[in-house]
A and B are shown apart, each in its own frame.
Chain A
Amino acid sequence: MAGCRMKLELSQVVQGRGRLGLLQEIGRMGQHSLDIPGCLLYTHLGSVPHLTQDALHTLLSLPAVTQVTLSNMAEHQEVLEEFKGGFKKFAGLHDTVLYCSLHDPAAPCPTGHTTNKTVSVWGSGGRIELKVDKFMALQKTVQPDWYQSMADGETWQTSTTRKRVRKSVDRTLAHLDECLMVHQKSQELDGVGVFGVVEGGDILEERVRSARETAKRPVAGFCLDGFQTGAMDQALRSQLITAVTKELPEDKPRLLQGVGRPDEVLACVEAGVDLFEGFLPFQTTERGCALCFSFDVTLDPESAGTATLTVPDEEQHTPRETQPNRDLNWDNQTHTTRFEMNLKHKRFQDDFRPLVEGCGCYCCRNHQRAYVHHLLVTNELLAGVLLMIHNTSHYHSFFRAIREALANNKMDLLRRRVLENGKE
């Protein structure tokens, strides 16, 4: 197989775990690179939610990798087949690396539909069941640069038994082998990277087995599945991820699915994760909120967090204690977290400051909290546009701060700074 020629150059490994580096020669043409730890660009059908390309490109230094989901792609298979040029060209995305995941990290995914031979994805028209041949046919029409292999990730529910977890690991490995078999015979997929999926629920031995076995296959990178916010608490997540990443080769990227909260991201970076899905800015936007958590480690502790000083108040800071093994708490995702401010709140009515002082995004350079508040209470579409611009900018700057902290040995300070958010 003429594989994917991506190279991962690690410049630093902190405490044996947190990895700082550069993914080079990514994309089928090998013309892109991505700093790690990093975050993918979250989209709906290749379009960052609410944003036209002009609005998106007010953001400087966007990540080189755009995520689309198979749940979006599957219902358009016929159209893409007729188009022939691949999804990037279809969506007018000229200069990006395309990663195709199975599910949308910001949309609920009903369980009970994975079998030994199939996975199911949910598009706007309902469930679409995919066997390996259909799955691979889709990848050939989408023509991504990377894609996530078929997987059975239904292990996060309360009732998940050890037996079910074991089955999910076996199934996912079997799916991967089937995908790789077709992949290697497909000229159209030459140079495309397959991401193998590590499962194993909350059982350490299963996690280790899944990682070890997946690492034996010719994959380009790894998806760590079943760790999403709500599935388990961070201590367990860190412990399992640390064990998993120990089994994975140094030179391949590890992408963690479904985790986006700043505090959890930091802990997972320290457990050895390289890449995250950038869905948090979207969820925050849908709540009418602006990310405002401080991550500036250049400030002295006293004056740090200028933007957040105005934020805390009881009603908007509902600390989300994650409850392990609850039905993936979707209702929690509609609640304001301590990392954001709810601009629908009346006190922003006559607040003429930018969303976050010092933020250089288009929204903060041009508009005030009072205006965004007005757009929200009048249900105007521009609210989503401006919030999405700011939230995307803020979140990607956070990842830049993580890399700087790793480079300058300031992870402890960064973690403290992030945890201080929302606390008086």
Chain B
Amino acid sequence: MSFKKTLNAVPPLCLRIVADCPVTKARACDLTLPHCTVSTPVFMPVGTQGTLKGITVDQLEGLGCQICLGNTYHLGMRPGPELIEKAKGLHGFMNWKRNLLTDSGGFQMVSLVELSEVTEEGVKFKSPYDGKEILLSPEKSISIQNSLGSDIMMQLDDVVSSTVRGPRVEEAMHRSIRWLDRCIAANKHPEKQNLFAIIQGGLDAELRKACLDEMTKRDVPGFAIGGLSGGEEKDDFWRMVTLSTDHLPREKPRYLMGVGYAVDLVVCVALGCDMFDCVFPTRTARFGSALVPWGSLQVKQKQYAKDFRPIDPDCHCPTCKRHSRAYLHALFKSDTAAMHHVTIHNIAYQLTLMRSVRQSIVEGRFPEFIRTFMKRMFSSRDQYPSWAVEALASVNVTFE
């Protein structure tokens, strides 16, 4: 394919802005990565251990997914970078033909592993499998991600909880900048693997701004907004997001980490973010929670036992085309396939939502889309979360 040849000659990422929303900061882009072009705004499902919760790669591709996530911490432990390299990278190992993004492993380490200690060298922790002490340095993280062969790699950052304040936040911000430089230097495959920087600075506007100034001086292919979505007030959250997008270069993709609730997605697209990921849609599916335009539907609840409608009559996913709420309700008592049905529906919901968002941006009617979306999601105007109303007002979208 001649397309592939030209790709090798240019940097492994190209962002083309297809449309800018004339009212908000939203934009629709074509993000070309080594394995295919991604239409943004995009939601990226999370396949932690090289698999997406019971869904085959063909099913995921069938749903129109162009990029999904793998977790460096998990894959680095099992099956390990050497094995994945032998399997021709994570793409080969899981036989996924489209794009992959991997995180740095740092976040999981701090959140999952109790005994972790952060020094200038890196993050030290005890392996939960054999108890051995392991150091995850910026170089090590990039080395694992190079073995995984992801299309987008994330820098190792010094993660502090978004609810922490004070000097630790500043220290983490400065350290993340130093680690970014070490990550850039460590990347063995800059011609085929993109490295994204992660903006830190907690909920402190000045620290965020300082981090933005420093990191945007580096010629990285893209930026992530990190250190948010960890239990902070939504009022703080959206202000940090919009501050970040105000200072990020227009010509590079912006990835808001760990965000995946429908309302958050729509608001943060309006604030100028392009990429999102979250385990929520797939995790919640396994408990029988189906995402719908009016919120969610708990398939396992008794009220659906005799409800013979599909989860969402307007949804075109394979689950809604074939099965009723009542059948899924019954199947949850008998077989794991019930979870897969809801997982498929939830991924379809997220991807369809983002496609509709994009379409409305391209057609210049995104503000109208937001109003319709909110109206469907909440039963009345006074149910709208105030942070969302404020955030949207900041980008000129108001409600009657």
Point out residues on A near B: beta carbons under 8 Å.
44-45, 47-55, 58, 72, 75-76, 78-79, 82-83, 90-92, 124-125, 349-350, 352, 362, 366-368, 370-371, 374-375, 377-378, 380-382, 384-386
Inter-chain contact B87/A368, CB cutoff 8 Å: yes
B83 within 8 A of A: yes
Inter-chain contact B95/A52, CB cutoff 8 Å: no
Inter-chain contact B78/A374, CB cutoff 8 Å: yes
Inter-chain contact B50/A374, CB cutoff 8 Å: yes
Q: What would 6 more interface pairs be, CB under 8 Å, given A45-B334, A47-B331, A48-B337?
A: A47-B338, A79-B306, A90-B324, A91-B323, A92-B324, A366-B95
Inter-chain contact B336/A384, CB cutoff 8 Å: yes
Instruction: Using CB atoms, name the residue of chain A closest to B308.
Output: A83
> Hey, what's the 0/1 contact readout for B34-59 against A, CB within 8 Å counting as 1?
00000000000000011111111111
Instruction: Using CB atoms, name the residue of chain B closest to A51.
Output: B337
Q: Which 6 A-B pairs have the closest CB atoms?
A: A381-B54, A44-B335, A92-B322, A45-B334, A124-B333, A44-B334
- Bound: A361/B153 CA distance, A: 33
Partner pick for B340 among A79, A125, A385, CB 8 A cutoff: A385
- Bound: A388/B118 CA distance, A: 44
Instruction: Using CB atoms, name the residue of chain A closest to B340.
Output: A52
A187: min CB distance to chain B, Å = 24
> Hey, what's the 0/1 contact readout for B329-351 against A, CB within 8 Å counting as 1?
01101111111110010000000
- Bound: A375/B95 CA distance, A: 13
Inter-chain contact B336/A49, CB cutoff 8 Å: yes
Partner pick for A385 among B54, B62, B93, CB 8 A cutoff: B54
- Bound: A387/B299 CA distance, A: 27
- Bound: A83/B324 CA distance, A: 11
- Bound: A424/B55 CA distance, A: 38
- Bound: A50/B54 CA distance, A: 8
- Bound: A52/B328 CA distance, A: 11
- Bound: A367/B57 CA distance, A: 10
In the complex, which residues of chain A have a beta carbon less than 8 angstroms from the beta carbon of B78? 374, 377-378
Partner pick for B330 among A45, A352, A362, A374, CB 8 A cutoff: A45
A-B pair count, CB < 8 Å, reads 120
- Bound: A380/B72 CA distance, A: 16
With contacts A50-B54, A374-B79, A381-B53 known, is A91 near B337, CB below 8 A? no
B327 within 8 A of A: yes
Inter-chain contact A52/B341, CB cutoff 8 Å: yes
- Bound: A52/B319 CA distance, A: 9
A277: min CB distance to chain B, Å = 17
Inter-chain contact B336/A50, CB cutoff 8 Å: yes
- Bound: A352/B86 CA distance, A: 9
In the complex, which residues of chain A have a beta carbon less than 8 angstroms from the beta carbon of B323? 91-92
Inter-chain contact B339/A381, CB cutoff 8 Å: yes
8 contacts between A and B (CB under 8 A): A52-B59, A55-B56, A79-B306, A92-B322, A92-B324, A362-B58, A380-B49, A382-B51
- Bound: A91/B334 CA distance, A: 13
In the complex, which residues of chain A have a beta carbon less than 8 angstroms from the beta carbon of B53? 380-382
B346: min CB distance to chain A, Å = 14
Inter-chain contact A50/B335, CB cutoff 8 Å: yes
B315 within 8 A of A: no
Partner pick for B56 among A91, A370, A385, CB 8 A cutoff: A385
Q: Which positions 298-334 of chain B face chain A at CB distance < 8 Å?
A: 305-306, 308, 318-319, 322-324, 326-327, 330-331, 333-334
Inter-chain contact A374/B335, CB cutoff 8 Å: no
In the complex, which residues of chain A have a beta carbon less than 8 angstroms from the beta carbon of B59? 52, 54-55
B395 within 8 A of A: no
B285: min CB distance to chain A, Å = 11
Instruction: Using CB atoms, name the residue of chain A closest to B52.
Output: A382
B275: min CB distance to chain A, Å = 25
Inter-chain contact B318/A52, CB cutoff 8 Å: yes
A50: min CB distance to chain B, Å = 6
Instruction: Using CB atoms, name the residue of chain B closest to A386.
Output: B56
In the complex, which residues of chain A have a beta carbon less than 8 angstroms from the beta carbon of B336? 49-50, 381, 384
B94 within 8 A of A: yes
Instruction: Using CB atoms, name the residue of chain A closest to B343.
Output: A381
In the complex, which residues of chain B have a beta carbon less than 8 angstroms from the beta carbon of A350? 83, 86
With contacts A54-B59, A54-B62, A384-B336 known, is A92 near B327, CB below 8 A? yes
A39: min CB distance to chain B, Å = 20
B171: min CB distance to chain A, Å = 35
- Bound: A349/B82 CA distance, A: 12
- Bound: A61/B190 CA distance, A: 47
A354: min CB distance to chain B, Å = 11
- Bound: A384/B62 CA distance, A: 20
A400: min CB distance to chain B, Å = 24
- Bound: A44/B331 CA distance, A: 8
- Bound: A14/B308 CA distance, A: 49
- Bound: A54/B322 CA distance, A: 11
- Bound: A49/B340 CA distance, A: 11
**Which one of B53, B86, B94, B336 has the greatest number of beta carbons of chain A within 10 Å?**
B336
- Bound: A58/B212 CA distance, A: 49
Instruction: Using CB atoms, name the residue of chain B closest to A389.
Output: B56
> Hey, what's the 0/1 contact readout for B166-179 against A, CB within 8 Å counting as 1?
00000000000000
- Bound: A52/B95 CA distance, A: 20
Inter-chain contact B326/A79, CB cutoff 8 Å: yes
Inter-chain contact B49/A374, CB cutoff 8 Å: yes
Instruction: Using CB atoms, name the residue of chain A closest to B95.
Output: A366
- Bound: A277/B56 CA distance, A: 27
B107: min CB distance to chain A, Å = 19
In the complex, which residues of chain A have a beta carbon less than 8 angstroms from the beta carbon of B338? 47
Partner pick for A50 among B79, B318, B337, CB 8 A cutoff: B337
Inter-chain contact A352/B54, CB cutoff 8 Å: no
Inter-chain contact A382/B322, CB cutoff 8 Å: no
**Which one of B319, B334, B337 has the greatest number of beta carbons of chain A within 10 Å?**
B337
- Bound: A50/B336 CA distance, A: 5
Inter-chain contact A378/B326, CB cutoff 8 Å: no
A365: min CB distance to chain B, Å = 9
In the complex, which residues of chain B have a beta carbon less than 8 angstroms from the beta carbon of A90? 324, 326-327
B306: min CB distance to chain A, Å = 5
Inter-chain contact B324/A382, CB cutoff 8 Å: no
> Hey, what's the 0/1 contact readout for B136-166 against A, CB within 8 Å counting as 1?
0000000000000000000000000000000
- Bound: A12/B49 CA distance, A: 51
With contacts A370-B79, A374-B50 known, is A76 near B337, CB below 8 A? no
With contacts A53-B318, A79-B326, A362-B56 known, is A375 near B86, CB below 8 A? no
Inter-chain contact A79/B49, CB cutoff 8 Å: no
Inter-chain contact A371/B93, CB cutoff 8 Å: yes
- Bound: A282/B105 CA distance, A: 36
**Which one of B322, B330, B344 has the greatest number of beta carbons of chain A within 10 Å?**
B330
- Bound: A49/B59 CA distance, A: 17
- Bound: A368/B94 CA distance, A: 9
> Hey, what's the 0/1 contact readout for B68-95 against A, CB within 8 Å counting as 1?
0000001000110001001100000111
In the complex, which residues of chain B have a beta carbon less than 8 angstroms from the beta carbon of A352? 86-87
With contacts A79-B306, A79-B326 known, is A54 near B318, CB below 8 A? yes
- Bound: A51/B74 CA distance, A: 26
In the complex, which residues of chain A have a beta carbon less than 8 angstroms from the beta carbon of B57? 366
Inter-chain contact A47/B337, CB cutoff 8 Å: yes
In the complex, which residues of chain B have a beta carbon less than 8 angstroms from the beta carbon of A52? 59, 318-319, 337, 340-341, 344
**Which one of A58, A124, A125, A374 has the greatest number of beta carbons of chain B within 10 Å?**
A374
A116: min CB distance to chain B, Å = 31
